[in-house]
Amino acid sequence: CYHFSIRKYTAIVSSEQRQSYEDDFNAEYVEYQAVLAQIHSITKTFREFEEQRKLVTPGSTAYQVKKDNTVK
């Protein structure tokens, strides 16, 4: 998925080669956007967990429940 080859992309010498590079970029960019969306979603979840954690007292039952649910 994340393989990269320098030799694959040499200097552009034709319109066909340019189109091929553009097609590769577009295909990879779609995958990049999907992965980036997943990262943003996971980051948001962790931020929400952090905000919830701040609302409970360490050692309390509510704290332990939040901690247990987070680890799952």
Residue 29: per-residue pLDDT: 94
User: Does the residue 69 lie in any domain?
Assistant: no
Which domain covers residue 50, as residue numbers?
A: 13-55
Residue 70 is assigned to a structural domain of this protein: no
Q: What is the pLDDT of residues 9-52, one digit of tens each?
A: 788 999 999 999 999 999 999 999 999 999 999 999 999 988 88
| 5 domain residue, yes or no | no
User: Between the CA of residue 18 and those of 5, 24, 30, 31, 36, what are the distances in Å?
Assistant: 17, 10, 19, 20, 26
CB–CB of 18/12 below 8 Å?
Answer: yes
- pTM to 2 decimal places: 0.56
Residue 38 lies in a domain: yes
pLDDT in tens, 49-64: 888 888 888 888 877 7
